[in-house]
Chains A and B, each alone.
Chain A
Amino acid sequence: MSARRIYLDHSATTPLEPKVLEAMMPFLTDKFGNPNSIHSFGQEALTGVDEARQILADFLNCQTSEIVFTSGATEANNLAIRGLIKALKKRRGDDYKMHIITSSIEHPAILEPCRELERQGIEVTYLPVDRKGIIKMGALEKSIKDNTVLVSIMYVNNEVGSVQPIRKIGKLIKKINEKRDREWRNTRVSERGQRPEPIYFHTDAVQAVNFFNCDVAWNYIDMLSLSGHKIYGPKGIGALYVREGVPIYPIELGGHQERNRRSGTLNVPGIVGLGAAIKLLGKRRDKGNITTKQEKYNKKISCLRDRLVKGILANIPQAKLNTDLNDSTPAHANFIFPGVEGESVLLLLDLEGIAVSTGSACASSNLEASHVLLAMGIKKEIAHSSIRFTLGRHTTSVQIDKVIRVLPPIIKKLRNISTEWNE
């Protein structure tokens, strides 16, 4: 990365760590074998895949057989949702009436598969969020029905950085599942019918892996999606953790790889890179603690984030912070600058060498304002004025100070042009 440019869009993607590239290089060159081949070329590639799988299993606290490598988190999310529903239909028949619960602030890779399933007759509840961008446990509990089979709630929201109470959700679902099963067991055999399906709990943890505990046992998670390029690893690789016993029917048919859950020749360099990136996050600790490495990064990043937030709020009149600093990742700061449109701010910052993102429709291809900000109760009129900063491991205080210096005159200039601003 050029030293002059400042990258504050780490939720979009992160730079590849040199150590990750180093780990990948042999698998991009000499060790090109197909890990499904029995000869030595295949076996050395398989060794790389096995090692990476072990690293993921250690980090997530699961079995290696419970890891399915995918092309990224979009595929992992699709496989979790569509794969589960498909498997349950195979098991219970096409007429089986199912209900899914998700949140209104999920990534499109969750929302769109859910909408597709709705068109096929499956009922979906989209939970609202509060002003911080967090679901309410009470609302979740109330929305659970006898035929609920899946709850999919993201660990961390990508736009504002809000953290969902994943462990509480997992615990609640476990409790309800145990009750369901107990009631069924206590019913007379002649009256009780088929054993009820449990509710499976999936979380899209793409934005959480850098910062938070992803121990699937501690958090009572049945399925978890993650992505390589959000954690300083390569693009085009992700993984889905699927707890033993959770039914998943593959979306792609053909090669029977990944224990029949995901067909296609394994992306060996990507898998090795994903493993290396996870390894750089440090060793998992017990009882939901984050790793010492995560602790170190979080401390550094949140310090810089607080400096940025203070500097912006002090120098830009009426700037509004959408990220709750106590209930978010240390890296997110999402603002609204009333009177200016997000894409304009983004471009003027880019011309100064500073990369950020916006929830404005004008920067997207669908011309809709951010569904996340709208779900948080932010009015449409100002939702187009949002700018998201996401800091990373390599962000420096010099960079943050430059943003604090450069941004206020940009906002002032655009407000001066704007119809929606009167000094």
Chain B
Amino acid sequence: MKYTQKVIDHFRNPRNQGKINNADAVSEKGNPACGDVMRIYLKIGENDDKKIIEDIKFETFGCAAAIAVTSILTEMVKGRTLEEALQLNKDEIVKELGGLPAQKIHCSMLGVDTLHEAIKQYQNKN
């Protein structure tokens, strides 16, 4: 299976890419020896007494799929509550990207794990 247009679009023009200097949580997962490393920065805000992801940025070392996964994931959870973001699973990401080649599905899992790790980090601190 080839990459979808949507994967290529997010790979070429990644959304929310970069750092947040005073982030409320930062998580990193993956290993350069395996070819993928993802880092997610979160800025948490409040809306109607609920904690929401006010801002999210990512950095990724990896293939087109890894970059596209982190890019689309940030779009999917920005402005959402932490509970909603914790519900996000890999299948939704793959669906949103219009599919991923079978050997790239692990990239979507790594993306979800990195996001959830950042959220839990924040929840444990507060």
Contact = CB atoms under 8 A, between A and B. Distances in A.
Nearest to B12: A351
A419 B38 contact: yes
A418 B103 contact: no
B61 A420 contact: yes
A341 B35 contact: yes
Among B12, B37, B60, B62, chain A packs the most CB atoms within 10 A around the CB of: B62
Given A369-B35, A384-B32, A420-B32, A341 B12 contact: no
Given A365-B103, A417-B17, A382 B63 contact: no
Contact of B103 (A348, A367, A380, A381): A367
Interface string B53-77: 0000001111111110000000000
A23 B32 CA distance: 49
B113 interface: no
Contacts, number: 70
Interface stretch (A170-178, A262-270, A356-364): A356-364
Given A362-B63, A419-B39, A344 B32 contact: no
Contact of A363 (B11, B33, B34, B63): B63
Contacts of A416: 17
B64 A339 contact: no
Interface residues of A, number: 26
Interface string B4-42: 000010011010010000000000100011111111000
A417 B40 CA distance: 12
A384 B35 CA distance: 6
A339 B11 CA distance: 16
B15 to A, nearest CB: 11
A351 B3 CA distance: 13
Interface in A350-386: 351, 360-363, 365, 367, 369, 379-382, 384
Nearest to B32: A381
B7 to A, nearest CB: 10
A341 B62 contact: yes
A343 interface: yes
B11 A341 contact: no
Nearest to A417: B17
Interface in A302-360: 339-341, 343-344, 347-348, 351, 360
B103 A341 contact: no
Given A344-B11, A417-B14, A381 B33 contact: yes
A103 B19 CA distance: 45
Given A341-B35, A361-B34, A381-B32, A418 B63 contact: no
Contacts of A362: 35-36, 62-63, 65-66, 104
Contact of B33 (A340, A343, A380): A380
B33 A347 contact: no
B67 A344 contact: yes
Contact of A417 (B33, B60, B65): B60
B20 to A, nearest CB: 14
Contacts of A420: 32, 37, 61
B59 to A, nearest CB: 5
B67 A417 contact: yes
A312 B17 CA distance: 26
A160 B10 CA distance: 32
A347 B64 contact: yes
B40 to A, nearest CB: 10
A419 B12 contact: no
Contact of A343 (B17, B34, B39, B64): B64
A96 B11 CA distance: 56
B57 to A, nearest CB: 11
Residue picked from A347, A382, A417, most chain B C-beta under 10 Å: A417
A359 B112 CA distance: 27
A346 B45 CA distance: 39
Given A340-B61, A341-B36, 17 more contacts: A339-B61, A341-B35, A347-B8, A347-B64, A351-B12, A362-B35, A362-B36, A363-B63, A365-B103, A367-B35, A379-B33, A417-B17, A417-B59, A417-B67, A419-B60, A420-B32, A420-B61
27 contacts: A340-B61, A341-B35, A341-B63, A344-B11, A344-B64, A344-B67, A347-B3, A347-B11, A351-B8, A362-B35, A362-B63, A362-B66, A369-B33, A369-B35, A380-B33, A382-B32, A384-B32, A417-B14, A417-B17, A417-B60, A418-B61, A419-B38, A419-B39, A419-B60, A419-B61, A420-B32, A420-B61
- Top 3 A-B residue pairs of the complex, sorted by shortest distance between their CB atoms: A362-B63, A380-B33, A343-B63
